[in-house]
Structure 1
Amino acid sequence: MALTQITLATPSSAKVGSRVTVEAFIKNLTSDTIEATATKGRVNSTVLRFGASHKWLSPGQTKSWPDSFIMPDRNITISVESWVPDENGIWGSDDRESRLITISVDFTGTIIQKELEYDGSRKSIPVY
């Protein structure tokens, strides 16, 4: 049974070379105060550290861990885990969430004509 719930706030797309901010929100699902961290984020082979900070969460409390990376020249999947210590103080993965971030492309140019095809018939649609 998970002690935490992790939720990611990320854009769905980003331009190549732009800075992408990722924020991991971890919620304490227990009735006890627990210590948690979000240090196991990955963007393909790049590790996100989220400040490598451990935070105390009261019952039901949610805290955030922000980090960022530079968008590569391909779509990426970011995967982040929440980690909590067990009763012996040994840290382990508790919950995980993944998100796809695609490359955004700016389209340039001007639309001069559109065509509509319906049942084999074609007609021009004026563009205003």
Structure 2
Amino acid sequence: MALYADVIEIVAPSQAAAGNRVDITIKVKNTYSAVISIMVSGALEYGVSPWPGIDVPENWANVNGGATYLFSGSFVMPDRRVTIHAYSYWYGSDGYWYFDDEFTKSVEIATASEPSISDFRIADFIKV
């Protein structure tokens, strides 16, 4: 359990196609009684080193005591299953960020389905 910045959920699809952008939301709850600054970061674990990061354009916020804040981010799906690692930090009165919590979620690689005849229109094949 986190001291002040509890990562309570990663909202992400259960599967995605390789090469597609995957949008995620990292939900962090301020467990302190007053406003604190909370920062998030993330990385993708899928067999490469170092782990690639997750793009979180607005990665910190001042969060009211007891409130949950949603941080939006994204990554490009690799060609295999990936584990998302989300990290939270809180800002101390001494001017330093302190690591607080981690949460993970897996995203499977989506298999491409075969196109059916209904996916095509006759007009696509007729030259005028």
- TM, length-normalised to structure 1: 0.77
Task: Please say if 1:17 is aligned against 2:23.
Answer: no
Number of equivalent positions:
109
Code of the aligned partner of 1:34? I
Give how far 1:54 is off: 2.1
Q: What does residue 4 of structure 2 align with?
A: 3
Q: Which has the higher strand share?
A: 1
Unaligned runs of 5+ in 1: 111-128
Secondary structure at the counterpart of residue 30 of structure 1: coil
Task: Please say if 1:91 is aligned against 2:97.
Answer: yes
* Equivalence map 1:1-128=2 (5 Å): 2-6=3-7, 7-38=9-40, 40-44=41-45, 45-108=51-114
Higher relative contact order, chain-length normalized (CA < 8 Å, sep 6+): 2
Change (3 A) 1:49 1:91: farther
Change (3 A) 1:109 1:85: closer
Identity of aligned residues (%): 25
Unaligned runs of 5+ in 2: 46-50, 117-128
Give the greater-gyration-radius structure (CA). 1
